[in-house]
A and B are shown apart, each in its own frame.
Chain A
Amino acid sequence: MKDKTETVAADWKALLKKTPNADAVQRLVDVLGVQKLTGRVIGRGAEGFRGVANDGPTDYLRRMLAEQLAPGEVRDQQVLRDIERWNRDRGGLMFERLFDAADKTERYVSVWEYFATRIETEDLYGLAERLFHETLHADGASANMQDQPALLAVWRRLNRRRLRRESVDWLNEQISLALPISLRFADDLLYYWAGQHGVVLDDGWSAVRRAMLDQARRVYSTPDDLLRTVVDTDSERQAYALLHFVRPPARREQVDIEPQDRAWLAPLLIEAAKQKSRFVVRNLIAMVGDHDVWAGLPENNPETLLERIYRLRPEHVEIIFGDYKEHDVAAVYQPGESPA
């Protein structure tokens, strides 16, 4: 059976053939601008348009038919007034409503994101800074982007704007502010804001990454400095903050630790493993190898069935630990178990 999206245009044409005054019907439907039913395009501007054709957070056709807002819906006018007030003097409840939204499905954030085109780019950067600051202040080491829907909404809004060369300096500063408080948050800033859908131009990622490593060297001079910025939990979101710092997910295959980083990072990680072994060793194992790699066992026998295994990457051990690799193995080694 065909998907409705494939047949709807043909079904519409078939219906019109047997409809009185079909030209008049089509003329009005053209004004509605519903993608698959229009005969000619009547430009109405995509942003801020709240018509029947809109596939944004609000189904305006259903709203018209119900003649009222659905339970739990947020009034557009409330969001628009909040934005207008914030644009005027940074007052009103917009910031608090965004910051307090804890759930990805929070209606206020999705409606706000839809109308955020009414906020100038410079002001959106300012809003992001304030959200970073408040999130770090409120959540400390456990701060992260995914738990803050408003941050994701601001990020999406900004990465659709014209990318700017100066965003590299801006992002460097934000990461510098995050590193002493939450390594996870700093990782997220690099991943989201400098990544493929980030706000930096061309190879801005490399510049931000380099600055992040340099700044981390200044901030994390002792294991305590590092360990107070991470959270030792089993939550996937927090458990691999160190791994993502050393091998950022965006470029996981190219470990970019340089000799000057290694001289500082390798002894720091080894010392940290002595203090918080469960958390750090879990990260070290993932740093120097890959989980869930398909391979035959034993690997030198092509007849064996494939299994998912952990595979050590000696080249990563070398890049990350260099001459410290013996200490790394000792840190990973737990009595009664085999080294990773």
Chain B
Amino acid sequence: MFIEDADRAGNRFESRHLERLLTTLREVNRVSFVLSIDGTRGPQFDYRKLCDVIEIIPKLDPELVVRVLGAAYRHWMAEEFIDPRPKRESPLHLDQEPNRLIEYYRRTTRDSPAHAITALLQSPRRLKHLIRRVDRVWRNLVGEVDLDDLIIISTLRDLDDRGVFEFLAENIDAARRD
């Protein structure tokens, strides 16, 4: 049995029934469960008592973002379309194959777009959502928008603080003008 995103039920979710059920299931033969939960948010499960094995999912880090988003990026760009960009390179540096020197540079400067995306997404779940959203839009608009910009706009759109995205949407005409 898989219980995903248990923390997303929110603080007002009455979790005691679920916790009791899982406690009971521990005694049932040939039944096991996987509980996926952000321990800092959501229902107050005592997951340490409930679960025999605990795997901590590593926090999002820039290299992971580059690896996952880069693979998706190269897949999207492999679609058949005419790329009109004069430089034909990703300003987010997502078109580069893994390169230790670049990784080292990124780690030492800590000022790459990947660092910015990581700081804003914060969780693997959000990275997954970002990829899903970009994939959906890109399938409708292959070659009709700039992919790097689409990734940035999709990242800003999903921020908890809606202010940045709303500002962009409302003021883009004025902001573009000289």
Contact = CB atoms under 8 A, between A and B. Distances in A.
Given A4-B174, A24-B116, A67-B136, 11 more contacts: A20-B160, A25-B120, A27-B113, A29-B168, A34-B168, A44-B85, A50-B84, A55-B176, A64-B145, A64-B153, A77-B81
Contacts of B169: 61, 65
A35 B176 contact: yes
Contacts of B115: 24, 27
Interface residues of B, number: 47
A42 B136 CA distance: 28
B150 interface: yes
A60 B145 contact: yes
A53 B91 CA distance: 14
Contacts of A254: none
Given A28-B156, A31-B148, A55-B176, A12 B167 contact: yes
Given A42-B91, A53-B176, A80-B84, A63 B144 contact: yes
A37 interface: yes
A308 interface: no
A48 interface: yes
A211 interface: no
A130 interface: no
Contacts of B150: 64
A289 B113 CA distance: 66
Nearest to B155: A28
Contact of B153 (A3, A21, A36, A61): A61
Interface in A34-51: 34-37, 42, 44-45, 47-51
A75 interface: yes
A169 interface: no
A50 B91 contact: no
Nearest to B114: A27
Chain B CB within 10 A, most for which of A20, A28, A37: A28
A235 interface: no
B177 A36 contact: yes
A139 interface: no
Interface string B143-178: 111101110110110011101100111011111111
Interface in B105-151: 111, 113, 115-117, 119-120, 136-137, 140-146, 148-150
Contacts of B178: 35
Contacts of A61: 153, 168-169, 172
**Lowest 5 A-B CB distances belong to which pairs?**
A45-B86, A4-B174, A27-B116, A24-B116, A24-B119
Interface of B: 81-82, 84-87, 91-92, 111, 113, 115-117, 119-120, 136-137, 140-146, 148-150, 152-153, 155-156, 159-161, 163-164, 167-169, 171-178
Interface residues of A, number: 53
B141 A67 contact: yes
Contact of B144 (A24, A36, A76): A76
A60 B177 contact: no
Nearest to B121: A24
Contact of A36 (B152, B155, B174): B174
A47 to B, nearest CB: 6
Contacts of B146: 49-52, 60
Contacts of A67: 136-137, 140-141
A108 B1 CA distance: 56
B120 A118 contact: no
